[in-house]
Amino acid sequence: MPRPRPFRFGVQLHGAASAAEWAASARRAEELGYSTLFMPDHFSDQLAPVPALMAAADATTDLHVGTLVFDNDYKHPVVLAKECATLDLLSGGRFELGLGAGWMSSDYEQSGIVQDPPKVRVDRMVEGIAVLKGAFAEGPFDFSGDHYAVTGYDGLPKPTQRPHPPLLIGGGGKRVLSIAGREADIVGINPSIPNGAVDTDAALSGRAELTDQKVAWVRAAAGERYDDLELNMLVFYCIVTDDRDQVVEEMAPLFGLTPDQVGDYPHVWVGTVDQICEDLEARRDRWDVSYLSVQGDAMETMAPVVARLAGT
């Protein structure tokens, strides 16, 4: 597809106090023009993604539901494939499958799941991708790797979307972004999280000049399929203000950045609605990122931006 792609927007929600509240949040996201309701996959205070996403799909008509992202270490990919295919089937083909190698140290520490070194976790995720795609494909398949062995398995049900639900892989390092460029349909351009927690090092890794390099890695790995990819970005702070300069000055020390670096930081939106929209158009021109996801607490605040830019 020729660049630039039309904008679309997602919102990441974690939970609700009741089924009625959760359904109302999903309907509100759809009403405001968001394309997708995303959920993370952690052991902290959040709803379990699979049943919650199914409930959100049931409460809406056109809203996509997806994960940012399933941790490959938490479920065997055969189990995950069945759950994802079922979600896609029962939602009428509205599921987006985000997958990652795992990063949050507290999840591993609290659950007792072994947090292997990054190379091992990424190796395992690569095998997990192969198993998922094999399960979604027609007929039985075999797979033999260092981490998974599958024999004569025919994953049923098959997903509605063929050959499989859109696969989203995001990262901040060269290896994961290169894998995403080769394997994914949607590539998330993210900060790196070297310390297993969102901290200053993670913030520094999201700077604009480093984002240039990340997109270049994706482009190089994707080759001719680059134009078929949709580039995604998760936004951490969204602030509508008439005094952009003052807010940026106050935010900069929190990120360990200079005000100039915060001003063009891709994972932060600050300014009037007009300024934010201008920034997003300029950033799409620079990085090809057209699929933007905000945190749940910004869903209402960013609705005017979504109304203006979605589909354009």
In a domain, 305, yes or no: yes
In a domain, 280, yes or no: no
In a domain, 146, yes or no: yes
In a domain, 2, yes or no: no
In a domain, 270, yes or no: no
In a domain, 36, yes or no: yes
Asked if residues 170 and 180 have their Cβ atoms less than 8 Å apart, the reply is yes
Q: What angle (nearest 5°) sits at the alpha carbon of residue 164, between those of residues 83 and 118?
A: 70
Which residue, 92, 102, 81, 95, is CA-closest to 53?
Answer: 95
pLDDT tens string for the chain (312 positions)? 567 899 999 999 999 999 999 999 999 999 999 999 999 999 999 999 999 999 999 999 999 999 999 999 999 999 999 999 999 999 999 999 999 999 889 999 999 999 999 999 999 999 999 999 999 999 999 999 999 999 999 999 999 999 999 999 999 999 999 999 999 999 999 987 767 666 777 778 889 999 999 999 999 999 999 999 999 999 999 999 999 999 999 888 887 888 888 888 999 999 999 999 999 999 999 999 999 999 999 999 999 999 999 999
Which range marks the domain in which residue 297 is found?
A: 8-236+289-309
> Residue 282: its pLDDT value, please?
96
In a domain, 224, yes or no: yes
Q: What is the CATH number of the domain that holds 232?
A: 3.20.20.30
Tell how strand 230-234 and strand 237-240 pair up: unpaired
In a domain, 100, yes or no: yes
From residue 137, alpha-carbon distances to 97, 155, 211, 230 in Å are: 15, 8, 34, 22
Q: How many domains is the chain built from?
A: 1
Distance CA 104, CA 202 (A): 12
Q: Inter-axis angle of helices 208-222 and 273-287, to 10 degrees?
A: 40
From residue 111, alpha-carbon distances to 42, 43, 133, 147 in Å are: 10, 8, 28, 20
Distance CA 134, CA 138 (A): 8
